[in-house]
Each structure stands twice: as structure tokens, then as C-alpha cells.
Structure 1
Amino acid sequence: MAAEPLFAPDGYRIAAYRAPVSRPPAGVGRIAPAAAAALRPGRDALFLDVLPAEGGHRESDGRWRLAAQHESIPGARWFPEAGRGVPEPDIALWFAAGVRRLTGGRRDRMLVVFCRSDCWMSWNAARRLRAMGYRNVWWLAEGTDGWRDLGRPLVRVAPEGRAP
């Protein structure tokens, strides 16, 4: 029996998302937690959390039903499931539209993408944003774990808007 592939033909990780990641996607910078902590989310950069809604799901009207609260970097915008290797089409559209709205359509806006440490979802999302034409994409590989390790607080967040 063949092992399940880790990557789709287009290069996105599609399985075993919690695994070491050695380098950012092409065209994406890697930002250290201390450097990210020096930024003001929403002013200096748009912080995008793509951790899935663990145990939760999306209702038919786009609202999220969460099984547990989610904590993230203060000021971050949470797009659950946007880091999947092959996101559901409505999730992909919601993510693209949300980022376009939050950046005001500016492709040069600094974007900091994260989830947890050793998480391919943020890698996928950073790669996807670069493919959408965003030119200032940064990957916070350590995610909320690295933020917490700096002694920085995490706050409860809700998913960004409604998925279509």
C-alpha cells in the first residue's frame, strides 16, 4: 500500500501539517518572533493567523461554530482553514477577499502569516499570498508558540467575518 503523498502536484503541503518546516516558500521572507513583536499589528503589518478551527466547522451561512476558543497574537486576523493545501473553494475565496479588503488592495502591504511552530498551514498560506501577487509576505515560522515563548500575551479571537 502506497503512503499518502505529502504534497500536491502544485507544491502545497496536503498532509501531516504538523511537521518541521526548514525554509519559507520562494519569494517569502522569514521573520523572527522578536522582529514580529516589534511590529504593531494592523499598523506596521497585517498579521494573518491561519490555524484551523480545531473541532469546529463552518455553517452553511458562513458562520463558524467553534468547539474551543482560539487565542492569537493581539491584532491578528484569523482565517481558519485558509492554510490547507487544497482549501475548499469558498474558503479560498473568503481568504482572498478578506486579505484584499484588509490591505485595501495594496499588494505591497506587509503581511505576517503564522499558525503554530512546525505548521505547514502558514507556509501554504504565505505561498498562496505570494501567488496572489502580494510582494511583502513574511512567514512567522514559530507562530503563536514563538510569540508566547517571548512572554508576549495571546488574546481570544474570532474568525474573520463570515465565509461565503
Structure 2
Amino acid sequence: MWKGLLAAMLMAGATASAAQSPVEGPLFDPVGGYRITQYRGVVGDAPADVMRIDTAEARRLWRRGAILIDVNPAPGAVRDPQTGVWTLAEPHQTIPGAHWFAESGRGVLPADIETWFLSGVRRLAEAHPHRPVIIFCQADCWMSWNAALRLRRARVRNIRWFADGLDGWRDVALPTVSARPE
């Protein structure tokens, strides 16, 4: 009897964890595959056709003029859809030279944010076609993963995903500067 009850409990647990798989379930958009809730959490592999880089490689590429794209959120900020101007509720620090596209790492984006993000990154990438595009937010954050996938699907080339993001950058005492959204 106990073995049967234990087996039933284990099966129920397996079914519950299967519902939280990386491609289905309430954490992910079942159509696009973007993470749509609980953005802070362990992130596995990079999106298909996107190279994952560590802090040392991000620093090396930064020194060589890579295009850095910060997709950290802007808590409490408001973007005027007519002018594109952001009113920030709190300051934001980023890697020197990075372009901050606030809120563009969410799984579901308002049309104006998606257009602003994709057209802005394309403009930067086309101006410097041989430079890699490095996407980042924080360590253990799905927003940069989402943004890298979105750019890859938009056919932006030479994308790198800096999974450790600002946390990894700060961990080795690299400089940051105050930023405003692009």
C-alpha cells in the first residue's frame, strides 16, 4: 500500500515538473518560446545560433568596440509612446558605451517597445557590421536570453549573449556609468 502511494506521489510530482518545461507551461509563451514571467532564475543554454560568452570575453570584446545592448528593466519608469522619452523612477548603471533598451527583454513586448528595440539595434549593427552585438542584463535573468532570441529571429547577425551581465561585470570590479534609455 505504501509503495503504491509513494509511486502515485512521484508520478504526480513528475507531471507537475513536466508542466514547467522550458518550452511549455506558464513560465513561457507557448508560441514564441519567450520567458514571460519570473525572469530571475537559472538560465541554461543560449538561444539557438547565439554564442554565450563569459565576463572575460565580454571585456575583451568591449575593449575592441563591440556593440553592447543592455536590456535591463526600468522599474517604475514610463515611456512616452509619442516622443519615446523615458521618465525614470530610479537611476540605472551600465557598462560604459552600452546602449540601454529598457524593458526590451520581456517576453511579451508592446508594439512600440519592440519596434524601438529592433530598429535601434539594427541601426547600430548596420553602422558597424563587423562588430559583435552583445546582449546582457543581470546574472540568472531571462530578459537577455529573450532579447537575444528576438534579435536572432529578426536576423540580426553576430549576436553574443553575456549571461552574467552586470552582476558578472561588477563581480570583477569593472567600471559602470549612469545610463538613460536609448
Give the aligned residue type for 1:73. I
Q: Specify the alignment match of 2:76 in structure 1.
A: 55
Number of residue equivalences:
158
Distance 2:77 2:119 in 1: 22
The two structures, once aligned, show a CA RMSD in angstroms of 1.9
Instruction: Supply the distance in 2 between the matched residues of 1:127 and 1:83 (Cα, whole angstroms).
Output: 10
Contact persistence 2:62–2:68 (CA under 8 A): no
* Structure 2 residues not aligned, in runs of 5+: 1-18
Kept after mapping to 1: 8 A contact 2:125/2:156: no
Which protein, 1 or 2, shows the higher relative CO under an 8 Å CA cutoff with sep ≥ 6?
A: 1
The secondary structure found in structure 1 opposite 2:61 is coil
Q: How does the TM-score come out when normalised to structure 1?
A: 0.89
Asked if the contact 1:108/1:134 (under 8 Å) is kept, the reply is: no
Deviation at 1:96, TM superposition (A): 1.0
SS at match of 1:102: helix
2:95 counterpart of 1:73:
yes
Q: Report the CA distance between 1:106 and its aligned residue.
A: 6.4
The equivalent position to 1:23 in structure 2, one of 13, 24, 45, is 45
Local SS of the residue matching 1:112: strand
Once the two structures are TM-superposed, the CA of residue 104 in structure 1 deviates from its matched residue by 2.2
Q: Which amino acid aligns with 1:154?
A: T
Q: Which residue identity lines up with residue 53 of structure 1 in the other structure?
A: A
- Report the residue type matching 1:51 in the other structure: N
More helix by share: 2
1:107, 1:134 within 8 Å by CA — same for their partners in 2?
no
Bigger CA radius of gyration: 2
Are the aligned partners of 2:101 and 2:181 in contact in 1 as well (CA < 8 Å)?
A: yes
Q: Which runs of 5+ in 1 are unaligned?
A: none
